[in-house]
Structure 1
Amino acid sequence: MCGAAREFYRLTDGRGSGTTISNNRTQLSTDSPKIQDSLGAGRHLDCGLRHYYLNIVRPILRRYRYCMPLAGLTLAAAAHAENQYSLSLGGGFAPRYQGSNQYRGVVAPGFSAKFGNGFFIDSTEGAGYRLDLPHGAFVSAAVSYDAGRTDENRFDMPGSDYLKGMGRIPGSVLVGVRAGVTLFNAAELSVTIDTPVTHTSRGVSGHMDLAVPVFKTAQHEIIVTGTVHAGSGRYTQTFYGVTDAQSMTSRFRPYSTSGGIDSASMAVAWNWTLSQHWSVLATGGVTRLLGRYGDSPIVQSRSNYYGIVGATYKF
């Protein structure tokens, strides 16, 4: 479902009662004992929505060619003030591949470690570094892996028997570069480019995300995220095209595409903070294939939906 997504790249953990926002910067009041406990651990929305998105949503969404950060809630340290570790487990439903009219259940366990020096290691995001800049801007780079797609029903990766004869799209090691900035009312705008360094014939893809918090209390936060996804000619041909050779071994007629904006997505994410360590998170969304990409013979439905619920333990 990463169609999942590509995400959530962070939400406060319920200790924001003493927090005030000024000029896109978070200032902590020391009047509250809870805030005293969290000095140096200021939080801000990161449209990649990293903790829940990376460990629960992204493992699902990314495998379905959805834009990475479709939606999510995250807990990114604004100034790399401390190490953060978390375990997550989520489950829900997702399409078998982007464009499929068939759905299946999915399970997504995950682990995340963010270090005070800006480096991070994540079970789905990979290994990388994030640099926070003045005025709410940031840049990051990471090395990760995408499993590709198969032409049979599988539990562990996207694919469907409907694609029989299309062959497998091999997995690729990806280098992802992301840049973003905090806008009005803690909204965040970001752009991500994913470049394969193995099996490079799959092409380059990218997405632009706008995450807007629409509701927030001490324990609850709701974020709406809109995403536009695009790919190079190689990318769109790989995931939506049908070559002459594939046409001879499958049910599909030949189909060629060129690069462009292939899909748009909208998602809503909710985070419920139960305690300093535990939180429950849920997200749901829709992705719509656009233009000639939705006309591909492998596409059974232009619109795909997903829903995921999970729990996170921070330590």
Structure 2
Amino acid sequence: MLLSAAAVHAATGSAPAAAATTTPQDLPDDGLHYSLGFGAFVAPKYSGSSDNHVVPAPLFGVRYDRYFIGTVPDANVPFGVGAYLYRDNTVRVGVAVSADLVKPRKSSDDARLTGMPDIERTARATLFASYNLDWVSVVGAATQDIGGKDQGATATLDLLGKYRPTEQLTLTAGPGVTWGSSQNNQTFYGVTAEDSAHSGLAEYTPGSGLAAIRFSVGAMYQLDKRWTLGARIGATHLPGDVGDSPIVEKKNQMTYGVFTNYSF
């Protein structure tokens, strides 16, 4: 399988790097491979929102040898272009360049954001690595805004346990954390003096630090050699300076999703 429903929030731009993750998938043999799928997710309108919306998520992937275009479960990249620098049955290391599909946040998302600027889409460079055994995966990634939209850097680390009650069904569960740079946290959770004057929200300047603590549970069912069905539930807590932001209405947030995928 080339791709699955990775990084729901990242895919929609609603909460960069604060996403429910998926277990890295087995890579097919070298050569040209394709994957197509579709998912639908219920997610917060933006990171910290008390309101949810339904997000359609088309899934697509192409891989040739070590190069890929599309979703990268190893890196929680929803749609990117990149390459594996190293890979074997246990360890994978790679790089990718990706872009937001929609704006991460709009002032029209909620009345409390009136007067706040939209957060624009940007491009990111990602370095990722994963360590995979039959019963556990450790996935880490570091990203940097390269689109000049003041979204700084993030780093994520996730630990996912795996259990196969049957040959077709794989269950996963585990915790994860996201760290955000001061620039990233300021853009997504800060309120400048100018923003405060326009919005009425209190001026606020978060520093660098933890931007999310999460736990996810998922299931994937292999219908046959090509078709896969999946579901995922993710719970995210916005801690510390991030959670105390006047932009945040709800520190504890949930994301639900289902998806199907066809590989050929």
> TM-score, normalising length from structure 2?
0.89
Q: Pairwise mapping of residues 260-275 of structure 1 onto structure 2 (< 5 A)?
A: 260-275=209-224
Corresponding position: 1:53 with 2:5: yes
Match of 1:26 in 2: none
The answer for the alignment partner of 2:242 in structure 1 is 293
Structure 1 pair 264–59 and aligned structure 2 pair: CA distance change class (3 A): closer
> Structure 1 residues 111, 77: CA separation in 2 closer, same or farther (over 3 Å shift)?
same
2:202 — aligned with what?
253
Decide whether aligned partners of structure 1 residues 203 and 66 sit closer, same or farther in structure 2, where only a CA change above 3 A counts: closer
Matches within 5 A, 1:41-190: 51-54=3-6, 57-58=7-8, 63-67=13-17, 70-77=20-27, 80-115=29-64, 117-122=65-70, 124-133=78-87, 136-146=90-100, 147-153=103-109, 160-182=110-132, 185-190=134-139
Measured after TM superposition, the shift of residue 314 of structure 1 is 1.2
Paired-residue identity, %: 26
Provide the C-alpha distance between the structure 1 equivalents of 2:68 and 2:111, rounded to a whole number of angstroms: 37
- Cα deviation digits, residues 215-253 of structure 1 (max 9, x gap): 342110011132100111111111111000000111311
Where 1:77 maps in the other structure, the secondary structure is coil
1:263 Cα deviation from its structure 2 partner: 1.1
Unpaired runs of at least 5, structure 1: 1-9, 11-49, 154-159
What value does the CA root-mean-square deviation take over the aligned residues?
Answer: 2.1
The answer to which structure has the higher strand fraction is 2
Q: Which moved more, 1:138-147 or 1:239-248?
A: 138-147
Alignment of 1:162-241 (within 5 A): 162-182=112-132, 185-241=134-190
The CA distance in 2 between the partners of 1:193 and 1:151, in whole Å, is 28
Deviation string for 1:2-53 (max 9, x for gaps)?
xxxxxxxx7xxxxxxxxxxxxxxxxxxxxxxxxxxxxxxxxxxxxxxx6112
Q: CA deviation at 1:262?
A: 1.6
Which of structures 1 and 2 has the bigger CA Rg?
A: 1
Q: Name structure 2 gaps, 5 residues minimum.
A: 72-77
**Relative to 1, partners in 2 of residues 1:66 and 1:166: Cα closer, same or farther, differing over 3 Å?**
same
Q: Does 1:311 align with 2:260?
A: yes
Distance 1:149 1:170 in 2: 7
How many Å apart are 1:161 and its aligned residue? 3.7
What is the match of residue 47 of structure 1? none
| CA displacement at 1:270 relative to structure 2 | 0.5
List per-residue Cα deviations over 1:283-306 (Å, max 9, x = no partner). 011100011211110110101101
Matched residue, 1:21: none
TM-score, L = length of structure 1: 0.75
Q: Secondary structure at the match of 2:242?
A: helix
Name which of structure 1's ranges 63-72 and 208-217 shifts more when overlaid on structure 2. Answer: 63-72
CA drift at 1:62? 5.4
Match of 2:75 in 1: none
Aligned residue runs from structure 1 range 23-34, under 5 A: none
